[in-house]
Amino acid sequence: NEGTETFKYESDITRLRSLVIHSLYSHKDVFLRELLSNANDALEKLRLVSLTDRSVLSAGEGNVTIEVIPNPDESLLEPKTGKILIRDTGIGMSKDELTRNLGTIARSGTNEFLKKAEEGQGVDGNLIGQFGLGFYSCFLVSPTVKVSSLPPATSSNPDPIQHTFVSSSTGDSFEVYPDPRGNTLGRGTEIVLEIGEEEAEFLSVDKLKSLIEKHSTFSTTFPIYIKERKITKVPTPPSQSPAEDGDPDQFADDLETDETTPKEDSIKEVEEESWIRVNDKAPIWMRDPKEVSDEEYKAFYQAVSKDDQGEPLGWSHFKGDTGSGVSFRAIMYIPSSLPKDFWSKMTSGINNVRLMVKRVFITDDLGEEFMPRWLSYLKVTVDADDLPLNVSRETLQNNRFLSQLQRILVRKALDLFTKVSNDQPETYKEIAKLYGNALRIGLMESPKDKLKIAKLLRFESTRSNYTTLEEYVENRKEGQKQMYYIAGVGETAKDLAKSPFVEKLHARGYEVLLLNLPSDEPMMAALDQFMGMTTQDVSKKGLKFGDEDEDEAEKKELEAQKIAFRPLIEWLKKDLAGQINDVTVTNRLVTSPCTIIVDSWGWSANMQRIMSAQTDSQDDPMFNMMKNLPKVLEINPKSPLIEGLLERVLDLPQPDDNDEDEDGDAKRTSEEEEELRETVRVLFDTSLVRSGFSVADPTTYFERVEALLRRSLGVSLSAKPKIHIRPAPPTAAGPIPEDEEEEEQKIEFDPNDMQDMLGDPSQWADWQDIKKQMGVEHDEL
Ligand SMILES: Nc1ncnc2c1ncn2[C@@H]1O[C@H](COP(=O)(O)OP(=O)(O)OP(=O)(O)O)[C@@H](O)[C@H]1O
């Protein structure tokens, strides 16, 4: 062709094109969805331009047409080879745009896409959508693709010229030339696909219609027409002259008046063509919900989520009025999965609300703030009746409509969750698992809705592995006013149930919620009250069973124990000063000797771990203040270990007991007390760990444990390990000889050489000294 220019594809594009072809080999039919979506975009762009320049519509309103043209000699109805023409009357492309958009520019996301694909993460129709590679999918069904395009005439470009782009699926170059047919399109783009025998199924109009119904009826608001062919058998009157053969209409008219019965040999096949609108139904959101089937809702979900396989976990279809006079219709879906980067990427989920005005798509970018983050995964389509068509995001943001709409959508979302939880409890289990964390965050961020959200949460507890807070309240014991919970991020419910804080409550038959999500503890603190019960962290001060007053005997016993254990309490307070600010006798424990609790307003061990995980928290004075808040040591007077401790404390000789033998006795006192002190510190550190805190100085802790073990085995505390370390030879000089580096050295070991190898033991360094020099951690030992 005259004026043909040949361009080289960018290397990324070549790689990309073959990747798309190979990875989507078994999903060839996505080509139609992608091309129709491009056509829709082109029509949308035209509509936007027409808002300021009506003249661009001079060639008529927008639509898309699809036509199958069988190759010569092929059957008209069931061709095996042929062409598919897809035309839109959209914004079209100039010569430069054809070159740039389809050929040379690797758009943003290309690298990321290639990386993912090359890492073997797979490519599916979804990724294609995300990375803007739709056009290349036409090579899935066609070895060569021809795109002719003509932009609308505008004042700046009054005489546009129709150009054609041609490319094969494998070549590394493409051609662009002025279309030799001239400006046949009027405006828009025509794509011609060559379909071979292997892809013959796509030449069936019925197949194309079913693909459009499946993928594109909802995503394309412009009319899509497909050319249908019918062959009708028409009787030919024997007297018919050859000239009349060509006019079937004339036939029909004749037939109506002709009463003679035609002879068998005069039947003739006549081809009838008509354009059929494929997406002629009103969009699903405009229809009466009673008339929309579940299948239609699911198909619409797959279209909006660009996920061919996904099934929504629930949906809601409603009409509304924002109060500022704008009425709208909407469909909201709970998706079947959360994008992997949902929590790590702030922008994940911001394009999930599609705003239409009178069936025309306006935007899916209402800004980060539009949907609260904890609901931003919902897929929502809103069609407003009365907004001006040329609203933009900027004008919308100043519009009361948006803030009112946002409130309505939040309310509707909570209603939707509640409805699924009541009507489809099994499905709701999945929702609770997928979106539980988001809902907990919602409870903290949205105080107005907190009771409603609290009812949507599900927990594991000592009674059940799936309970609601309402069930918790129903199962409360007489007099119980607190809702007990224990939190430990990442721990299993089974482990949490074994916590010393839980043991007594569980043994007595009280239910304790076992919380292990990061948002659980702050959420419980934010909830504070639920249906008349207050939330109580069982690892904090303030736990009440509610029946303390009933058991007089237990109360008296506790009072008596407080007196009996006073010497131990006083001794512990003195000994652990700085680490704890109080020691109390408790009846909340069963088998554990002691626990460490924090004040009701202090951070629990779990909270400390969460806060420590925040970057920069270590430099935050508030963090350090909260972390180092004094704790309370609670001792279990029924524990034999605590009883034993009390005895040892009572046994400690008082310094003024034996005046006669002052020296020896003072020594004995200090030795015994020191030993007791070591034991108590091990007990304290172990309790810290059992209570979920970390030990301040693990090295010292392990040394103490070792000392304790030595005592129990009767091994001297001062005995040193008989290990000697041979120092390394002096620093090597020069480069490493090559063969030494590469060749594996084969060491032949002869036990008789042992002495030579180790050298003179008297020259070996002392292990304890080396350990000191190196600062080796105890656990490494
Ligand atoms: N029918 C068309 N009319 C006008 N421009 C088109 C048409 N088809 C494609 N284009 C242009 O070519 C570009 C590349 O299309 P391609 O389908 O590869 O990516 P995309 O449309 O940006 O993303 P995706 O289709 O995957 O959502 C488009 O951005 C658009 O500018």
Q: CA torsion, points 694, 695, 698, 704, in degrees to nearest 10?
A: -140
Tokens of 160: 């546009």
In this structure, the dihedral spanned by the alpha carbons of residues 568, 570, 571 and 572, taken in order and rounded to 10 degrees, is 80
- For residue 420, what pLDDT band results from cuts at 50, 70 and 90? very high
Cβ–Cβ < 8 Å for 227, 65: yes
Q: Find out whether the beta carbon of 70 lies less than 6 Å from any atom of ligand 1.
A: no
Our answer on whether the CB atom of 189 is closer than 6 Å to any ligand 1 atom is: yes
> How many degrees, rounded to 5, is the angle at CA 384 between CA 378 and CA 385?
160
In 3D space, the residue among 87, 37, 486, 437 whose CA is nearest the CA of residue 217 turns out to be 37
Over the stretch 637-689, which tens digit does the pLDDT of each residue have?
Answer: 999 999 999 999 998 876 655 555 555 555 666 778 888 888 898 999 988 88
Q: What is the pLDDT of residue 161?
A: 96
Q: Which residues contact 529 (CB under 8 A, 6 or more apart)?
A: 535
Predicted confidence band of residue 745 (pLDDT cuts 50, 70, 90): low
Kindly indicate the confidence band of residue 698, based on its pLDDT and cuts at 50, 70 and 90.
Answer: confident
Q: What confidence score (pLDDT) does residue 128 get?
A: 54
708-720 confidence digits (pLDDT tens): 888 888 888 888 8
- DSSP annotation of 285 reads G
Distance 145 CA to ligand 1 centre (A): 14
The protein residue with its alpha carbon nearest to ligand 1, atom 25, reads 134
Annotated binding-site residue? 189? yes
Contacts of 54 (CB under 8 A, 6+ apart): none
pLDDT 10s digits, 54-90: 777 776 778 999 999 999 988 888 899 999 999 999 9
Predicted local distance difference test score (pLDDT) of residue 254: 42
> pLDDT tier at 456 (50, 70, 90 boundaries)?
very high
CB 702 within 8 A of CB 779: yes
The DSSP call for residue 25 is G
- Quick check: 245 pLDDT over 90? no
Which DSSP letter does residue 577 get?
B
Mean pLDDT of 537-554: 81
Which atom in ligand 1 lies closest to the alpha carbon of residue 136?
18
Q: What is the pLDDT of residue 182?
A: 94
Is the CB of 101 within 6 Å of ligand 1? yes
Q: Which of 66, 85, 101 to mutate to test the pocket of ligand 1 (most atoms within 8 A of CB)?
A: 101
Closest CA to 334 of 297, 368, 362: 297
Q: What is the mean pLDDT of the chain?
A: 82
For atom 14 of ligand 1, which residue has the closest CA? 101
pLDDT tier for residue 765 given thresholds of 50, 70 and 90: low
8-state DSSP, 507:
H
- Report whether 246 belongs to an annotated binding site: no
* pLDDT of 360 higher than 80: no
Mapped onto helix, strand or coil, the DSSP state of residue 568 is helix
Mean pLDDT of 94-113: 76
What integer pLDDT is reported at residue 121 of this predicted model? 58
- Which residue's CA lies nearest to atom 20 of ligand 1? 132
93 C-beta closer than 6 A to ligand 1:
yes
Give the percent of the chain with pLDDT over 90: 37
- Summarize the confidence of residues 164-181 as an average pLDDT: 93
Q: What amino acid occupies position 546?
A: G
Q: Which string of DSSP letters, residue by residue, matches 438-458? A: HHHHHHHH-GGGHHHHHHH--
Residue whose C-alpha is closest to residue 481's, from 535, 522, 521, 548: 535
The answer to whether the CB of 90 is under 6 A from ligand 1 is yes
449 pLDDT band, cuts 50/70/90, is: very high
State the pLDDT at residue 204: 94
11 band by pLDDT with thresholds 50, 70 and 90: confident
Whole-number pLDDT of residue 159: 92
- The mean per-residue pLDDT over the stretch 530-539 comes to 93
Task: Please report, in angstroms and rounded to a whole number, the separation of the first and last CA atoms in the chain.
Answer: 81
Least confident range from 41-45, 231-235, 582-586: namely 231-235
Does the complex come out with an ipTM higher than 0.90? yes
- Buried-exposed string 491-522: b where 16+ CB fall within 10 A, e elsewhere: bebeebbebbbbbbbbeeebbbbbbbbbbbbb
Judged against a pLDDT cut of 60, whether residue 770 lies above it is answered with no
CA 648 – CA 673 distance, rounded (Å): 9
Instruction: Inform me whether the pLDDT recorded for 125 exceeds 50.
Output: no
How far is residue 444 from each of residues 131, 372, 486, 565, measured CA to CA in Å?
Answer: 35, 12, 18, 43
Alpha helices in 294-424 (DSSP H): 294-305, 393-397, 400-423
Q: Which atom of ligand 1 is nearest to the CA of 131?
A: 26
Average pLDDT over residues 544-558: 80
Q: Range with the lowest mean pLDDT among 113-117, 120-124, 165-169, 334-338?
A: 120-124
The number of residues in the chain equals 781
Q: Please indicate if the annotation marks 172 as binding a ligand.
A: no
Residue 142 has pLDDT above 50, yes or no: yes
Instruction: For residue 96, report the distance from its CA to the centre of ligand 1, in Å.
Output: 14
* Per-residue confidence (pLDDT) for residue 746, from 0 to 100: 55
Confidence band, pLDDT 50/70/90 cuts, at residue 380: very high
Tokens, residue 207: 């197949």
Q: Which atom of ligand 1 is nearest to the CA of 34?
A: 25
Identify whether the C-beta of residue 89 lies closer than 8 Å to the C-beta of residue 75.
Answer: no
Take atom 30 of ligand 1 and give the residue whose Cα is closest: 101
The listed range with the strongest mean pLDDT (138-142, 365-369, 542-546, 652-656) is 138-142
Q: Is pLDDT above 60 for 546?
A: yes
Residue 102 DSSP class: I
Q: What pLDDT score was predicted for residue 391?
A: 61
Residue 408 — very low, low, confident or very high, per pLDDT cuts 50/70/90? very high
Question: What Cα–Cα distance (Å) separates residue 265 from each residue in 96, 259, 262, 634?
Answer: 58, 17, 9, 108
The dihedrals phi and psi of 150, each to the nearest 5 degrees, come to -140, 120
Kindly give the distance from the C-alpha atom of residue 341 to the centroid of ligand 1, in angstroms, as a whole number: 26
What's the rounded Cα separation, in Å, for the pair 311 and 753?
A: 73
More confident of the two residues 340 and 210: 210
Under the banding of pLDDT at 50, 70 and 90, the label for residue 773 is low
Nearest Cα to Cα of residue 575 among 683, 656, 710, 701: 683
Phi, then psi, of 432 in degrees rounded to 5 = -60, -35
DSSP bridge pairs for 514: 460, 486
Q: Which of 547, 548, 521 is nearest to 535 (CA)?
A: 521
Whether 13 is in the pocket of ligand 1, judged by its Cβ within 6 Å, is no
Q: How far apart (Å, rounded) are the C-alpha atoms in residues 482 and 7?
A: 75
Share of the chain above pLDDT 70, in %: 81
From 75-84, 171-180, 689-698, the region with the lowest mean pLDDT: 689-698
Beta bridge partners of residue 225, listed in sequence order: 65, 277
In terms of average pLDDT, the best of 99-108, 440-449, 755-764 is: 440-449
User: CA neighbours within 13 Å on the CB side: how many for 36?
Assistant: 31
Give the distance (Å) from ligand 1 centre to CA of residue 98.
10
What residue type is 297 in one-letter code?
Answer: Y
Contact status, residue 164 vs residue 146, Cβ threshold 8 Å: yes
- Nearest residue CA, atom 24 of ligand 1? 132
Atom of ligand 1 nearest to the CA of 39: 1
Both tokens of 716, joined, read 């001297």
Has residue 443 got a pLDDT over 50? yes
User: Quick check: 368 pLDDT over 70?
Assistant: yes
Ranges 101-110, 168-177, 336-345, 485-494: which has the least confidence: 101-110
Q: 283 vs 217, 287, 383, 480, CA distance in Å?
A: 8, 7, 10, 54
pLDDT at 243: 47
Listing DSSP states for 358-396 in one string gives TTEEEES---TTSS-GGGTTSEEEEEESSS-TT--HHHH
108 is in an annotated binding site: yes
Angle, helices 605-613 vs 520-527, to 10°: value is: 120
Supply the pLDDT for residue 117: 67
Largest Cα separation within the chain, whole Å, is 151
Going by CA atoms, what residue is nearest to atom 29 of ligand 1? 101
Reply yes or no on whether the pLDDT at 192 is more than 80: yes
Distance between CA atoms of residues 93 and 90, nearest Å: 9
Average pLDDT over residues 247-262: 45
What Cα–Cα distance (Å) separates residue 382 from each residue in 117, 303, 362, 723? Answer: 34, 15, 10, 77
Rounded distance between C-alpha atoms, residue 385 and residue 388, angstroms: 9
Using CA positions, which residue lies closest to atom 10 of ligand 1?
38
pLDDT for residue 611 = 74
Is the minimum distance from the CB of 102 to ligand 1 under 6 angstroms? yes
User: Does the annotation flag 111 for ligand binding?
Assistant: no
Q: Return the residue whose CA atom lies nearest to atom 28 of ligand 1.
A: 101
C-alpha angle 676-679-683 in degrees, rounded to nearest 5: 135
pLDDT at 616: 63
The DSSP letter of residue 104 is I
Going by CA atoms, what residue is nearest to atom 31 of ligand 1? 101
For a pocket test of ligand 1, which of 38, 148, 165, 361 has the largest count of ligand atoms closer than 8 A to its C-beta? Answer: 38
* Residue 222 labeled ligand binder: no
- pLDDT, tens digit, for every residue of 263-289? 556 778 788 889 999 887 778 898 899
Q: Which residue's CA is the nearest one to ligand 1's atom 23?
A: 132
The reported pLDDT for the residue numbered 398 is 63
Residue 438 confidence class, pLDDT cut points 50, 70, 90: very high
Whether the CB of 88 sits within 6 Å of ligand 1: yes
